Chain A
Amino acid sequence: MIELSDVHKSFGQNEVLKGITASVEKGEVVCIVGPSGSGKSTILRCINGLESYDRGEISIEGLKVDRDTPSIVNIRTQVSMVFQRFNLFPHRTALENVIEGPLYVKKEPRAQALERGRALLAQVGLAEKADAHPPQLSGGQQQRVAIARALAMQPKAILFDEPTSALDPELVGDVLGVMRKLADDGMTMVVVTHEMGFARDVADRVLFIDGGVIVEQGPAKALLNQPQHPRTQDFLRRVLHPL
């Protein structure tokens, strides 16, 4: 469903993606892990056109991702994104955040958008917070609203960019719980994360990225339990046993 072939991307002199080729099937959960600065987030940002890429091709269901053509809007309504820092609209309530896209981008009737918005907030366990503004919510709650906002677009896939990295440890579980439920429901997900437990239990496949290339990839459990490449082994050892 999502295809990347030989994708290159530089920021000035610094080449962050050095030929990424990968694909994500419908209904698949793929986790991208790797050291910081390895290009993980850049891959996600290229997939929905927040960032341009220099060479290669990214396509979603056969439609080329090119942020300089109007079709990018079409792609973004089909592939939603959840950000590390939530990026909720602070001047709107939780419910308004969720229905913003359906109402103004998809032009759904208000009553229908509201009904679905409430259902989505209930789905992420925040039915009673519909009228709260983001600053009144905890980080974990904000991120769950952000997931509801992404779901409201009825996307074919959701990209998660380190969705729990900005959260207090005790709030991480709530967000991961919502994501696990989505995975169980068959949502196509690409997740950049440092949560190895989540990757092992929920992901179908894991890509290990370092220095802008895919060093190793494979079924989640196999890759995380018996990594083959020395760099993967080294990375996992340091993440799992930091002391």
Chain B
Amino acid sequence: MKGFWHDAAEFFPILMNGVALTIVVTIGSLLLSTVLGLIWAMMRVSGIRALSMISASLINVIRGIPIIVLLFYLYFVMPDLGVTLSALQAAILGLGIAYSAYQAENFRAGIEAIDKGQIEAAQSIGMGWWLTMRRVVLPQAVRIVLPPYGNVMIMMLKDSSQASTITVAELALQGKLIASSTFKNTNVFTLVALMYLTMSIPLILLVRHFEKRAGKK
């Protein structure tokens, strides 16, 4: 145990560099997946057949490709097509696109859970599609959508470790580098696990708060 604390003190600063990148990747891809997910969901419920079909097939394509393959594609294949991305850019883009499919399905479920009478009431006072969405549907859907959204945040925090496969030196990769140069596998990976857990706990509490609020109504 004494050895663990000693190693922890030594490796902690290096691992914190990894934590910083983990947070950048998580927040970046979270924002991107939210924006893309909203766009896919809006296309899906637009009532315009072409848009809805494009969105549905896009979501299925994204869902059907493993995140790691998406990352390899962006980082290793795109340069052949003349688009060179930094590892960090590719990681945020890849995770953002991958998770946009889940976000979209979550948003769509929230939007479709709103009572049809609400939409008719909005229409009956002359609101068009966009105004109905913005003033009536989305504010009510947010309550429904937030708890699963929080879960996606936790999953994205953990899946940001996949960025290590394309050389982003985030927490998991930093841990691996230290472990392979010091052979202190147990201590290093225990520390890495504890650091992920520490970052997850506030998110877990946040989800619980969202769930309580959604249940209250």
* Contact residues, A137-158 vs B (CB, 8 A): 146, 149-150, 152-153
Contact between chains at A100 and B135 (CB < 8 Å): yes
Q: Which residue of A lies closest to B128 (CB)?
A: A73
CA distance A106 to B127 in the complex (A): 10
**Cβ-Cβ contact count across A and B, 8 Å cutoff:** 60
Of A24-32, A86-94, A122-130, A214-222, the one contacting chain B is A86-94
Of B2-10, B66-74, B114-122, B147-155, the one contacting chain A is B114-122
Q: Is B126 an interface residue (CB 8 A)?
A: yes
Other-chain contact of A101, B120, B126, B128 (Cβ < 8 Å): B126
Contact between chains at B140 and A76 (CB < 8 Å): no
CB distance from B124 to the nearest CB of A (A): 4
Contact between chains at A153 and B117 (CB < 8 Å): no
Main secondary structure of the interface of B (DSSP, over half): helix
CB distance from B74 to the nearest CB of A (A): 39
CA distance A8 to B91 in the complex (A): 57
Residues 186-225 of A, flagged 1 when their CB comes within 8 A of B and 0 if not, give: 0000000000000000000000000000000000000000
Other-chain contact of B123, A74, A76, A106, A135 (Cβ < 8 Å): A76
Contact between chains at B120 and A76 (CB < 8 Å): no
Contact between chains at B120 and A50 (CB < 8 Å): yes
CA distance A152 to B127 in the complex (A): 14
Q: Is A22 an interface residue (CB 8 A)?
A: no
Q: Which residue of A lies closest to B124 (CB)?
A: A81
Q: Is A11 an interface residue (CB 8 A)?
A: no
With A76-B125, A77-B126, A149-B125 already in contact, the answer to whether A87 and B117 are too (CB < 8 A) is yes
Q: Is A235 an interface residue (CB 8 A)?
A: no
Contact between chains at A105 and B121 (CB < 8 Å): no
CB distance from A68 to the nearest CB of B (A): 12
Interface range on chain A (Cβ under 8 Å from partner): 20 to 34
CB distance from A45 to the nearest CB of B (A): 8
CA distance A49 to B115 in the complex (A): 18
The residues of A that contact B117 with a CB separation of less than 8 Å are 83, 85, 87
The residues of B that contact A164 with a CB separation of less than 8 Å are none
The residues of B that contact A81 with a CB separation of less than 8 Å are 120-121, 124
The residues of A that contact B39 with a CB separation of less than 8 Å are none
Q: Is B131 an interface residue (CB 8 A)?
A: yes
With A50-B120, A87-B120 already in contact, the answer to whether A77 and B136 are too (CB < 8 A) is no
The residues of B that contact A89 with a CB separation of less than 8 Å are 118, 121-122, 136, 140
Q: List 10 A-B contacts (CB under 8 A).
A: A77-B126, A83-B120, A85-B117, A87-B115, A87-B120, A87-B121, A106-B126, A135-B217, A150-B125, A153-B125
Taking beta carbons and an 8 Å cutoff, which residues of A are in contact with B? Answer: 48-50, 73-74, 76-77, 80-81, 83, 85, 87-91, 100-101, 104-106, 135, 146, 149-150, 152-153
Closest 6 CB pairs of A and B: A101-B125, A87-B121, A77-B126, A81-B124, A87-B117, A105-B126
